[in-house]
Amino acid sequence: MSDAPIVQMTGITKDFTGVRALDGVDFTLRRGEIHAVMGENGAGKSTLIKVLTGVHDPDAGRILLDGEPVRFHSPGQAQAGGISTVYQEVNLTDNLSVAENLLAGREPRLGPFINFRAMRRKAKALLDEIGIDLNVAAPLSSYSIAMQQLVAIARAIDIDAKVLILDEPTSSLDRDEVAVLMRVMRSLAERGTAMVFISHFLDQVYEICDRMTVLRNGTLIGEWAVSELPESELIGHMLGREVQTLGALEHRAARHRPDDDVLVSARGLGRKGSVSPFDLDIRPGEVVGLAGLLGSGRTETARLIAGADRADSGALEFRGERLRGHNPRTASARGIGFCPENRKTEGLVGDLTVAENMILAMQAARGWARTVPPARRDALVAEFIEKLDIRPADPDLPVKNLSGGNQQKVLLARWMLIEPRLLILDEPTRGIDVGAKADIQRLVNELSEDGMAVLFISAELEEVTRLSDRIAVLRDRELIDILHQESDMTTDRIVETIVEKGGDK
């Protein structure tokens, strides 16, 4: 394989109003390599990608593709030029079928008509190739974000790109899905496709990448062979400071909790086709983790407790009161906060400002007739911008102008700020950098110490074991066990539980 770069970007500068997202950045991508772009939330990673793929016009700089100067003006042009991208925010069309999404623009035709049968067959074959099994005729929106992401990747692969860009493709995938993706990436690299991989999971970067480029605050810090840059040094380059991880915390399970005081009690709660009936108690000040593979029913379980979906069996009690007609509005009025996994469609309103987005749940809980007094609102917003280190620290920016990780922090702030009795967090650290992740874990820990109960979902088992007092393990949409002993709070135990109990049936 020749060492000639396939992509060479030099002196790239990009200004947004008030922010220099990139400042004279150089980036080189070689044939057949997997190259990580690393940096904190807001460092400029996605912007660099978007300049390359024609989403944004750079204010300065040069781009060579295969040695030729190029300047794309749309992702479509970039794609035609051989650069395929899976953006951080899934950019497929929800209401179209899986097959339509996979083959959009390249549908097999019969004369002037789309040949739907051939399209479905081709889509199926493509997904088979990367080892995922979906009903290609079903709307894409009926699948989880993770599945949607894999469909986007399959689409990029089908186009047979020279360059494939993956901006946080793994943030919502479970271990098996990640393994599938890595296998696909390796085989593409062997075929000579160059890849840019952006991920906040350092272990994945170390496993799959050849080189990395580190950005901080829009500037280039350097480029290294992965084998030559130990993780601690990488973190130092990314953050420009040391991270204090939660590692030093006493293990949560070791803390004593009164058994009699139950905040939430689910008995036989279930919903046909979604989650089998389950029993679960959550006590004040307790963090209960939900662990399981993709599609195991974690989100569905959380949604029943949150009132986002209606249960068709069983009962849910909250502070001793049987909840009837449980829905998101009554739930938040009672002090149940639900931070959903899909920040784009269920969470943030892009055109509203950071402050407006943050205050939304509090305002809804008070009723729209009683606006939150401006002084109180400003104080709360400022407090949480600081606590979560949201950058830029400007409450008046439209939230869509923030980087992906910073958007996620705004969504978290929305729910933390109402001081719920129960906070349900579905993948709260998805897309969050190492430093901020530790901040969020610490915050969850603090809030629970103040008596808030937390139901916590994460595909990262390590994070679940670290934060949880007890772990409810799910498999095939069924709660199969609740781990509670300190010795059980390990990723190995969770995996064993899933395998063993699954084998019983």
Ligand X SMILES: Nc1ncnc2c1ncn2[C@@H]1O[C@H](COP(=O)(O)OP(=O)(O)OP(=O)(O)O)[C@@H](O)[C@H]1O
By CB under 6 A, name the binding residues for ligand X.
16, 19, 21, 39, 41-47, 88, 392, 401-406, 433
Give me the least distance between CB of 211 and ligand X, in Å please: 18
3-state secondary structure of 356: helix
Which one of ligand X, Mg ion, none interacts with residue 406, CB within 5 to 8 A by kind? Answer: ligand X
Give me the least distance between CB of 71 and ligand X, in Å please: 19
Which one of Mg ion, ligand X, none interacts with residue 401, CB within 5 to 8 A by kind? Answer: ligand X
Long-range contacts formed by 268-272: CB under 8 A, 24+ apart: 268/313, 268/314, 268/315, 269/304, 269/305, 269/311, 269/313, 269/314, 269/315, 269/316, 270/304, 270/311, 270/312, 270/313, 270/314, 271/300, 271/304, 271/309, 271/310, 271/311, 271/312, 271/313, 272/312, 272/313
Give me the least distance between CB of 226 and Mg ion, in Å please: 20
Backbone torsions φ then ψ of 194, nearest 5 degrees: -90, 140
Position closest to ligand X via CB: 405
Cα–Cα distance, 174 to 232 (Å, whole number): 25
Strands 422-426 and 453-457: parallel
- Counting Cα atoms < 13 Å in the Cβ hemisphere of 118 gives 8
Give me the least distance between CB of 55 and Mg ion, in Å please: 12
Comparing CB distances to Mg ion, the nearer of 418 and 436 is: 436
What type of residue is 360?
L
Position closest to Mg ion via CB: 46
Q: Which stretch binds Mg ion (CB under 5 A): 6-14, 81-89, 289-297, 347-355?
A: 81-89
Bridge partners of 360? none
Give me the least distance between CB of 169 and Mg ion, in Å please: 12
Comparing CB distances to Mg ion, the nearer of 404 and 428 is: 404
Angle at 445 between CA 346 and CA 402, to 5 degrees: 40
Give me the least distance between CB of 201 and ligand X, in Å please: 12
Q: Which stretch binds Mg ion (CB under 5 A): 46-54, 70-78, 125-133, 371-379?
A: 46-54
Cα–Cα distance, 480 to 192 (Å, whole number): 44
Comparing CB distances to ligand X, the nearer of 420 and 435 is: 435
Backbone torsions φ then ψ of 432, nearest 5 degrees: -100, 135
Comparing CB distances to ligand X, the nearer of 21 and 455 is: 21
Which one of ligand X, Mg ion, none interacts with residue 41, CB within 5 to 8 A by kind? Answer: ligand X
Segment 303 to 322, residues that bind Mg ion, using CB under 5 A: none
Give me the least distance between CB of 46 and ligand X, in Å please: 3
The DSSP code for 455 is E
Q: Provide the b/e sequence for 118-154 (b: ≥16 CB within 10 Å).
A: ebbebbbebbeebebebebeeebeebbbbbbbbbbbb
Give me the least distance between CB of 408 and ligand X, in Å please: 8
Give me the least distance between CB of 461 and ligand X, in Å please: 22
What type of residue is 446?
E
Which one of ligand X, Mg ion, none interacts with residue 399, CB within 5 to 8 A by kind? Answer: none
Comparing CB distances to ligand X, the nearer of 56 and 484 is: 56
Comparing CB distances to ligand X, the nearer of 21 and 385 is: 21
Comparing CB distances to Mg ion, the nearer of 411 and 455 is: 411
How many residues form the binding site for Mg ion (CB under 5 A)?
A: 3
- Counting Cα atoms < 13 Å in the Cβ hemisphere of 396 gives 2
SS (H, E, C) 79-101: HHCCEEEECCCCCCCCCCEHHHH
Give me the least distance between CB of 465 and ligand X, in Å please: 24
Which one of Mg ion, ligand X, none interacts with residue 161, CB within 5 to 8 A by kind? Answer: none
Q: Which stretch binds Mg ion (CB under 5 A): 73-81, 85-93, 317-325, 468-476?
A: 85-93
Which one of ligand X, Mg ion, none interacts with residue 44, CB within 5 to 8 A by kind? Answer: ligand X
3-state secondary structure of 144: coil
Token pair 């004040």 is at which residue? 284
Comparing CB distances to ligand X, the nearer of 168 and 488 is: 168
Comparing CB distances to Mg ion, the nearer of 46 and 170 is: 46
Comparing CB distances to Mg ion, the nearer of 36 and 480 is: 36
- Residue 447: in which H helix or E strand, if any? helix 434-449
Structure tokens at 124: 């199926």
The correct pick among 9, 37, 46, 464 for binding Mg ion (CB under 5 A) is: 46
Check binding of 404 to Mg ion (CB under 5 A): yes
Cα–Cα distance, 117 to 451 (Å, whole number): 56
Omega of the bond prior to 230 within 30 degrees of 0, cis?
no
Which one of ligand X, Mg ion, none interacts with residue 290, CB within 5 to 8 A by kind? Answer: none
**Binding residues for Mg ion (CB under 5 A):** 46, 88, 404
